[in-house]
Structure 1
Amino acid sequence: MIKPTPNPPVRLFTVADGISTEDLLVNLSETLASANALSCDIAFNLEGASREELLGVAQLIELAQLLADRVHDGVGQPTASVS
């Protein structure tokens, strides 16, 4: 019998328990910065649609970086209520 859905992939990487939110956010920011640098370096060696697509990916990475930075800035601060 053929299964309708495949088994989920085995995870190769995990995050250790007990790491602080701030440390996780710092590592997230460093990872995003590396991904952005790689995508920009590769994009500038391309031309046409491929370059534009990869620069679009770089913009998404930058957006994720801004979101991570905002969360990191707010760690440990009370959340403001919106009226």
Structure 2
Amino acid sequence: MHKVTPNSPETPSTSPYASNDSKKLHDAAERALDHYFKPPFDKGNLPDKRPSNIFAVIPDLDNETLLAHASETLASLNVLASDLAFELEGTRRHVALAIQQMVSLGELLVNRALDSFDQPEER
């Protein structure tokens, strides 16, 4: 049987990244396309670098109130860390228990400072 169309020439499949020169040319082409077709950089889209004041402590609060809220926060954190520790295993559990212990120590210190407010002043 006779074939009507000739065989196509065999060409090795080459990648544009096969040689260092083609890689450099491709990189240069990408930089040129980015230079001409990329939208200009808009500094207005950058996030604001100023610190946020979402949470603030009222400046004229007395120390007893501050310590009471710190104690409640540490007590909540103590429970959270304890609950988390019992859901973990291995070294992660040990880390969570260490955090829970440090929170407990901080809570004891704050509560001790609060106890000094409960005692009547000596004259």
Tell me the TM-score range normalised by the shorter chain.
0.7 to 0.9
Per the TM alignment, residue 76 of structure 1 is displaced from its structure 2 partner at its CA by: 7.4
Pairs within 5 Å for 1:1-83: 9-75=51-117
Q: Which runs of 5+ in 2 are unaligned?
A: 1-48
Q: Distance in 2 between matches of 1:68 and 1:17?
A: 19
Equivalenced residue count is 72
| Displacement of 1:14 | 1.5
How much is the aligned-residue C-alpha RMSD, in angstroms? 2.1
How far 1:9 sits from its partner (Å)?
4.9
- CA distance in 2 between counterparts of 1:37 and 1:21 reads 24
Q: Distance in 2 between matches of 1:67 and 1:8?
A: 34
Once the two structures are TM-superposed, the CA of residue 8 in structure 1 deviates from its matched residue by 8.2
Over the matched positions of the two proteins, sequence identity in percent amounts to: 40
- The structure, 1 or 2, with the larger RCO (C-alpha pairs under 8 Å, 6+ apart) is 1
TM-score, with length taken from structure 2: 0.52
Q: Distance in 1 between matches of 2:107 and 2:94?
A: 20
Say if 1:66 and 1:8 are closer, same or farther in 2 by CA, change over 3 A: farther
TM-score, structure 1 as length reference? 0.75
